[in-house]
């Protein structure tokens, strides 16, 4: 697990190199893209899946260590049943295709974060198989957040910590930020340096609430299916111009 000081030191080094180590993406705008192109909603999600696949290749080329994609939120279950069913079918189709094998051949490790309680047995089996196949890969990590919500994540961590206390494995007075990080999603990875949200909305929508404590936020009006390498370069250029202080003042950062 990375300490706050280590994270700050690494983040400052990455800033000087003009490159975030961990990018998280809120992929928004599929439905509006469909309407803009006079197509049905499913076509927007299909185009979004293609954009996600392309972004993985782009980030691999740019030597990004970790890419986390917000595919399906805890709240997305509230969408019309037809749309939810279409999204589940698309998710299943992507995992059934040769996509996972392609990632494996590129030495990419695939991980899923989220509840998983409401997914079908078939989908769960494919997710588990994909994680096991790529578990020992040492290249870029691609994290897929599915049925994920920041509130769920912290509540889930609290439950696990409570069990540790109840079982006598943890002293309640010893619980601190590092303890929580052991139980939240991505706690074993460097926290996101940059979050990109497409589609014009300016909020994080219950995504990685704990993990985004010092993440740089970038919002673009570009709909997700249209987000390409040029759009990513604009986000990276914006990120490179920021000073990440982690509570320090500018003079301290510049002197380090």
Active site residues: 28, 76
Q: What's the token pair of residue 125? A: 């089996």
d(CA 144, CA 103): 13
Q: Length of the chain in residues, anyone?
A: 256
Helical H segments across the chain, by residue range: 4-16, 30-36, 41-61, 81-96, 99-105, 121-134, 150-166, 177-181, 229-240, 250-255
Q: What is the DSSP letter of 111?
A: E
Q: Which residue, 150, 149, 230, 239, is CA-closest to 194?
A: 239
d(CA 91, CA 113): 14
- How many Cα atoms within 13 Å fall on the side-chain side of residue 110? 22
């Amino acid at each position: 697990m990375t300490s706050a000081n280590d994270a700050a030191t690494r983040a400052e080094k990455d800033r000087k190199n003009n490159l975030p180590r961990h990018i998280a993406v809120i992929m928004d705008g599929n439905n509006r893209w469909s309407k803009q192109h006079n197509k049905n909603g499913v076509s927007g999600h299909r185009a979004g899946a293609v954009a996600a696949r392309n972004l993985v290749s782009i980030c691999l080329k740019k030597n990004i260590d970790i890419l986390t994609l917000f595919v399906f939120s805890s709240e997305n279950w509230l969408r019309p049943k037809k749309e939810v069913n279409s999204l589940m079918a698309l998710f299943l189709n992507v995992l059934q295709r040769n996509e996972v094998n392609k990632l494996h051949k590129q030495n990419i490790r695939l991980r899923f974060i989220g509840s998983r309680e409401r997914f079908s047995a078939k989908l769960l089996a494919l997710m588990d198989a994909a994680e096991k196949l790529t578990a020992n890969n040492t290249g870029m990590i691609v994290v897929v957040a599915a049925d994920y919500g920041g509130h769920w994540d912290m509540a889930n961590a609290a439950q696990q910590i409570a069990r540790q206390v109840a079982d006598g494995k943890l002293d309640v007075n010893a619980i601190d930020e590092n303890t929580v990080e052991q139980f939240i999603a991505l706690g074993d990875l460097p926290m996101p340096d940059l979050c990109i949200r497409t589609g014009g909305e300016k909020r994080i929508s219950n995504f990685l609430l704990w993990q985004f404590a010092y993440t740089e936020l970038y919002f673009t009006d570009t709909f997700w299916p249209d987000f390409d390498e040029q759009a990513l370069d604009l986000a990276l250029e914006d990120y490179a111009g920021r000073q990440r202080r982690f509570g320090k003042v500018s003079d301290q950062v510049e002197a380090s």
